[in-house]
Chains A and B, each alone.
Chain A
Amino acid sequence: DIVVTQSPNSLAVSLGERATINCWSSQSVLYSGDKKNYFAWFQQKPGQPPKLLISWASTRESGVPDRFSGSGSGTDFTLTINSLQAEDVAVYYCQQYYSAPYIFGQGTKVEI
């Protein structure tokens, strides 16, 4: 199994400041066949289902503000939220979808 470790568990950031969340996978999720990293980031607000923010480690989904960015390759990945807004308060999860079981990170609670 490819295990995903996420840090920190929680993060308090001032409005307008930057939030950074890190994830590591126990094996590379970079597939040599298509040169893609099978790694995603989700946002979950209270009482709501998860929402896909970023796929393939760095591709923002349609409608996701450009203050959200994903980076990294292989086993090390980062989600950066620039200029944090009040509506960004949520739990953020990373996930590898390279191979089953498609394990999620433990989650990072982002607060103001």
Chain B
Amino acid sequence: EVRLVESGGALTQPGGSLRLSCVASGFTFSSFDMHWVRQAPGQALEWVSALGGGGDTYYSDSVKGRFTISRENAKNSLFLQMDSLRAGDTAVYFCVRGNYYDSGRGLIDAFDFWGRGTMLTVSS
């Protein structure tokens, strides 16, 4: 059974830093792209960052230069280092596995397993 369990969410002040963690189980972690997706209170889902199995990293414009995604395959763990936090970063952060599916015209990626999320609140 695939499981993704996030931790590290907290209340922190604007300008502060925090590191989120995600522990994965039930699959070969190193073989999959991993993502962070967030949901601000009452808002839609928002993709934040991705880390490919080969080490390529990607960020949304809203967090680029402030957040750093990383992984430790030996510990089946994904991380999100968040610096220069803003009130707008307040959200539930989900750890997500990416996978590829055949569309008939090529491969399409989708997010096939999600954790339950960890809450970050940025407030003074």
Q: Do A and B come from one complex?
A: no
Using a CB–CB distance below 8 Å, which chain B residues touch chain A? none
Using a CB–CB distance below 8 Å, which chain A residues touch chain B? none
